Structure 1
Amino acid sequence: MDFINEIIGVPRLLLNRPNSNVVFFGTLKKSISKEELQKIIFNLSHKHKLLNCKINSNNDTFYYLIDKNIEPDIVQYSNTNIEDLLKKELKHFFDIEKGPLIKFGLLKKNKEMTLIINSHHTICDGMSLVYLFKDIEKMLLGIDIDYSSRKFLFLEPSNIPQNLGNWLEKFIFYFINKKWSKKKFSITNMERLSIHEGFWRKHEPQLFIHCFSEEETAKIITRCKENRITVNTGITTGLLYIQHKLLEKKNYSDNFIIADNLRQYLIDDPKDKLGYFASALRLKLRYNNNLNFWENAMQFQSRIQKEFDTNKFESQKINLLSPKLLDAILLNLFGYRDDKIAKKMIRKSNMDIVNSTFTIANLGLVHSEENSLINTLQGPVVYSDTMEKYVGVLTYNKKLRMIISSNPKLVSNSEVQAIIGQLIGLFK
């Protein structure tokens, strides 16, 4: 067994949240047995060590513990609706003290095999599950996997190529942390389970899965290239436009979040290993009615790029906060404690409200192997209780795929369908 790395920052906050599951799925061109997948996962655990992970605590300090005796569950399903299965996976409770923090599903329906990966966000980001899915395919194809690097890498201050926070922020955080270091409490597993069950009694995720045709995808890519913007900016601009123009009965927010991959910007690049290496870039962009769609998109492109260049590690300032305070924030959020500082931070970060806007996580173009065994890929699927919609996007086999999760009490299925329909029209 190996103890590796204290859990701090965003992963520490995610550790105790009831909606920290990230789900990814795809259909295969061949059937795969449970035993075959077990063997593949065992072999891949030499590269993706967090496959055999649980969380160990020592007083108030939490660590990843790698134990080869911890094997991810593989559940077989048949003739189950994929949307119902994805909802079930989003609600799954990972017992972090027992592990593992990832599970797999095999769905056989109408001669089609679907592989589902469900992981706790503490050990993964969206790209992690793409890499893991592709490594499973490589094993099935007999392609060699690179196991050479055994170094554990994390998104932590020592691996970030810049200082987090200015002197004033560090000064304030120092005194806040000093105060919290004296407090005696910890989150128990019973409290985690209670928070989890209470949360999902109030929330029922709604999923809308859409695959753009090859022609529609080609049109989106071409139109974005013609106007010198990325596909991600094009989709983001489209969503902002639709919110304000087509669903104007709601007072939509100009604030939204773009999730991005930080791997290549770290001191030590983890490349394609399983782990949490994501950013959450919070932006406020107002659609200008005096400009046309593409003029807005070009302005947004410039703003987004500038913001990413200067603030891509902004969300990592949370690493400056005491992990104990992060635990307290979670307990205050769900009514298990009453602390003024924690509640003030909750209000300041809008953790206690649902923003009438979206988070977008575009995993980009996923390349297919020669003689690929993967028909389709879809994800990431995440349920947010602070953003009205979570939009997972990727492009595979010349088709752009989108899955939108939301709370049906806040946005109806017909509204989501209208968003997709209008989005297609914007790129014609």
Structure 2
Amino acid sequence: MSRLERLFFMRPVYTIIMAARITGAVDTIRFRQAIDAASLMHPLLRAKVVFDERHEAWFSSDGVPPVPLRIIPRKSETQWLDEMKEEARVPFDIGREPLIRFVLLQSPEVSDLLILCNHSICDGMALANLIRDLFTLYENPAKEVRVLDPLDILDIVKPGVSLQGLIARFFVGLGNRKWRRNPYYFGAEEYAALYRGFWAKRKPGLVLLEFDQDESARLLAICRSHGITVGSAVSAACLAAHTDITGGFSKKQQTIMVPFDLRRRLDPPIGNVFCFCDSGARFPFVYSPGRPFWDNAKDLHREIHSRVEVLDPSCLDIPVFEPSFIDALTAFAPYVNKIPEAYTHTDIMQRFIRDTGNVVISFNRNSEKDFPGFIPSNVGRIDVPESPDGIRLDRLIFLPGFCESGPLSIGGAGAGGRTVFSMPFVDCMAMLGSSPGPELIRIRNRALEYLGFPEKMSDREME
């Protein structure tokens, strides 16, 4: 596991989800075979995590059972959402089982597929490509499977040297020396305790911007008339709506992080490998309420594409932390004050929460201030040919993790002629008596107005 993958390994909000709607009768035996074949094609689908004496994490397929697939009867249009909300609260058994699992809600006419995956082994495009592979393998059970070995993107993309990077390395070096004198080694038991503790009084939430086939075509035509993409327009609409509803981000969070897929940006391209293969373009941007919406949208589009079209690996310039330091910094330090009850479950967690002078606490305090305000992720359109049996990918919903409090995040995907953007969030109603859901619904509705679809406004999270 690279240090980039490890950044997303243990945090309880970094479960990436794809929800696919399939029309036609799904043969569950063939579907199980397709998953098994995909597991041969993509080794990380059948990997658990083991730690060595330095607490380096390694992916291993030794003695790992098949990828979990739970099949249940599909009873309603919204059942998939309830299943997703419950499944997302369940940690992976990282030391024994794969870091991915499937749920198929099956009926003779329509089925809903949920794929939940630990972010350390995937990104949005990895899951989108996996959907395509599953359909191909389902349709062609005898197809020869070619293994696509995962890679460490940090071995291929080499960030340049910068003053900011050198300063970061200096402070990380100091932190590593202090950490080595008093390290904490978090494993599978601690991960599960943190995960369950976080979700004990919280639930995943989701607000959707959905466009059917006619609406998607109309939205595309509008965006083309302005010379921008649908993704840029929706991102600008969400920013405009957020500014109207909340007054905008704080000065420290007036930045955008746009993740982008590296698979086809490398020379030569590396193919549809299943692994974490994202970089990101980060830049300051403030929506200007005094200017027309489409002028703002064009500015955002130009800014995004000027940075994404040129491979900028600066976001991959990750200092060499001690491996266990990364776990503490990204997963365990952020929740010391939020869910202290979770730290009573193991001796390591008890000692860690009592050690208020540990170096990782100050590191975390500084890193949280630097989080971007808006993260738009878009996997684009996924084309899956319809099979002779009539099985068809009708809709795809991408959830790029769950935002806790500050930042705004959206995930976009297109399939079957439909376009869907998700706005995932953490619902703290049971704990705080309030939920971000109603505010995000208002933001979604205002964004629809900006895009020219006021008739789609609703007080519900999804249609």
TM-score, structure 1 normalization: 0.87
The 1-side partners of 2:280 and 2:87 are apart by 23
* One-letter amino acid matched to 1:72: V
Structure 1 unpaired stretches of 5+: 1-6
Which residue among 346, 367, 378 is the counterpart of 2:364?
346
Counterpart mapping for 1:44-55 below 5 A:
44-55=38-49
CA 1:411–1:233 in structure 2 vs 1: closer, same or farther (change >3 Å)? farther
* One-letter amino acid matched to 1:305: H
1:316 to partner: Cα distance: 2.1
CA 1:106–1:240 in structure 2 vs 1: closer, same or farther (change >3 Å)? same
Partner of 1:9: 3
Partner of 1:204: 203
Partner of 1:75: 70
Partner of 2:335: 334
Partner of 1:93: 91
Secondary structure of 1:114's aligned partner: strand
The 2-side partners of 1:118 and 1:164 are apart by 36
1:332 to partner: Cα distance: 2.2
Tell whether 2:59 aligns with 1:64: yes
| Contact 1:76 1:107 (8 Å CA) reproduced | yes
More strand by share: 1
| Contact 1:25 1:115 (8 Å CA) reproduced | yes
1:139 to partner: Cα distance: 1.6
1:406 to partner: Cα distance: 1.7
Secondary structure of 1:390's aligned partner: strand
Tell whether 2:115 aligns with 1:117: yes
The 2-side partners of 1:167 and 1:417 are apart by 43
1:224 to partner: Cα distance: 2.1
1:143 to partner: Cα distance: 7.9
Tell whether 2:57 aligns with 1:41: no
TM-score, structure 2 normalization: 0.81
* One-letter amino acid matched to 2:447: L
CA 1:147–1:246 in structure 2 vs 1: closer, same or farther (change >3 Å)? same
Tell whether 2:379 aligns with 1:360: no
The 2-side partners of 1:275 and 1:397 are apart by 25
Once the two structures are superposed, what CA deviation does each residue of 1:15-43 show, in whole Å capped at 9, x if it has no partner? 21122211112122233344322222222
Tell whether 2:218 aligns with 1:219: yes
Secondary structure of 2:41's aligned partner: coil
1:400 to partner: Cα distance: 1.0
* One-letter amino acid matched to 1:187: F
CA 1:311–1:176 in structure 2 vs 1: closer, same or farther (change >3 Å)? farther
1:187 to partner: Cα distance: 0.4
Which residue among 100, 103, 113 is the counterpart of 2:101?
103
Partner of 2:448: 424
Partner of 1:296: 296
Counterpart mapping for 1:358-397 below 5 A:
358-371=374-387, 373-380=392-399, 382-385=401-404, 387-397=406-416
Tell whether 2:271 aligns with 1:271: yes
Tell whether 2:15 aligns with 1:21: yes
1:49 to partner: Cα distance: 0.9
Partner of 1:155: 153
Once the two structures are superposed, what CA deviation does each residue of 1:319-376 show, in whole Å capped at 9, x if it has no partner? 53222221221332232433553223222222799x8x54321111112315462222
1:68 to partner: Cα distance: 6.6
CA 1:14–1:71 in structure 2 vs 1: closer, same or farther (change >3 Å)? same
CA 1:411–1:267 in structure 2 vs 1: closer, same or farther (change >3 Å)? farther
1:249 to partner: Cα distance: 9.2
The 2-side partners of 1:87 and 1:150 are apart by 32
The 1-side partners of 2:405 and 2:282 are apart by 13
| Contact 1:23 1:89 (8 Å CA) reproduced | no
| Contact 2:160 2:314 (8 Å CA) reproduced | no
* One-letter amino acid matched to 2:325: L
CA 1:151–1:30 in structure 2 vs 1: closer, same or farther (change >3 Å)? same
Once the two structures are superposed, what CA deviation does each residue of 1:191-237 show, in whole Å capped at 9, x if it has no partner? 21221121112322222234212232223222222222222221111
Tell whether 2:400 aligns with 1:406: no
* One-letter amino acid matched to 1:321: F
Q: Choose 263-272 or 214-223, whichever is displaced more.
A: 263-272
The 2-side partners of 1:126 and 1:246 are apart by 28
1:283 to partner: Cα distance: 3.6
Which residue among 137, 140, 143 is the counterpart of 2:138?
140
* One-letter amino acid matched to 1:390: S
The 2-side partners of 1:351 and 1:72 are apart by 38
1:121 to partner: Cα distance: 0.9
Partner of 1:3: none
Partner of 2:456: none
Tell whether 2:253 aligns with 1:235: no
* One-letter amino acid matched to 1:425: E
The 2-side partners of 1:218 and 1:99 are apart by 42
CA 1:314–1:92 in structure 2 vs 1: closer, same or farther (change >3 Å)? farther
Secondary structure of 1:134's aligned partner: helix
Structure 2 unpaired stretches of 5+: 337-348, 429-433, 453-463
The 2-side partners of 1:333 and 1:327 are apart by 11
The 1-side partners of 2:382 and 2:184 are apart by 44
Q: Choose 188-197 or 415-424, whichever is displaced more.
A: 415-424
The 2-side partners of 1:39 and 1:16 are apart by 30
The 1-side partners of 2:320 and 2:309 are apart by 21
CA 1:418–1:184 in structure 2 vs 1: closer, same or farther (change >3 Å)? closer
Q: Choose 52-61 or 300-309, whichever is displaced more.
A: 300-309
Q: Choose 73-82 or 340-349, whichever is displaced more.
A: 340-349
CA 1:122–1:339 in structure 2 vs 1: closer, same or farther (change >3 Å)? farther
Q: Tell me the C-alpha RMSD between the 2 structures.
A: 2.9
The 1-side partners of 2:318 and 2:132 are apart by 32
Q: Percent identity?
A: 19
Secondary structure of 1:45's aligned partner: helix
Counterpart mapping for 1:158-177 below 5 A:
158-163=155-160, 166-177=165-176
